[in-house]
Amino acid sequence: MKAKVSLVLNGESVSAEIEPRETLADFIREGRGLTATHLGCEHGVCGACTVEVNGLTTRSCLCLAVKADGSDVKTLEGLGSDPVMIVLKRWFHDEHALQCGFCTPGMLMTARDILSRHRAPDAGTIRKELSGQLCRCTGYANIVKAIEAAGKELAQ
């Protein structure tokens, strides 16, 4: 039995008939071809699949697509012109805050969320807030620097 899902994905209304067990991550990646949403652990631990659902960061590997029916979903691809994301991407580049890039989309989505809730957060706050995002390459130091610098710039 298929289930119908209708939602707004990056500003575009989309509908599909899907298996009720399909995750939001698979709906986004396989159903819509938006591959910035990465699947790492598929247990909600690594944060690579982080998207925004109705304004809240969400692990899309744990959320069934049918649960997102009627929701407003944003992925990294949908935030290309977002002013906060533009600043974050520049600072991630300038501070060399990525290596392999696998975790980067989830890190950026989480960093945007951090900056939406904390004005110019300090390194300690950023580290605490990033505790649910895993990166095997960078050691986090440059990611923290990038978010801190972006926060300072945006607070001005």
Q: What is the pLDDT of residues 55-108, one digit of tens each?
A: 999 999 999 999 999 999 999 999 999 999 999 999 999 999 998 999 999 999
How far apart, in Å, are the Cα atoms of 76 and each of 20, 79, 123, 139?
25, 5, 24, 22
> What one-letter code names the amino acid at 83?
P
- Does 84 share its domain with 73? no
Q: What is the pLDDT of residues 31-63, one digit of tens each?
A: 999 999 999 999 999 999 999 999 999 999 999
CATH number at residue 69: 3.10.20.30
Q: What is the largest CA-CA distance in the chain?
A: 53
Cα–Cα distance for residue pair 138/141, rounded to 1 Å:
7
Cα–Cα distance for residue pair 76/79, rounded to 1 Å:
5
- Does 43 share its domain with 69? yes
Matching residue, tokens 């805050």:
97
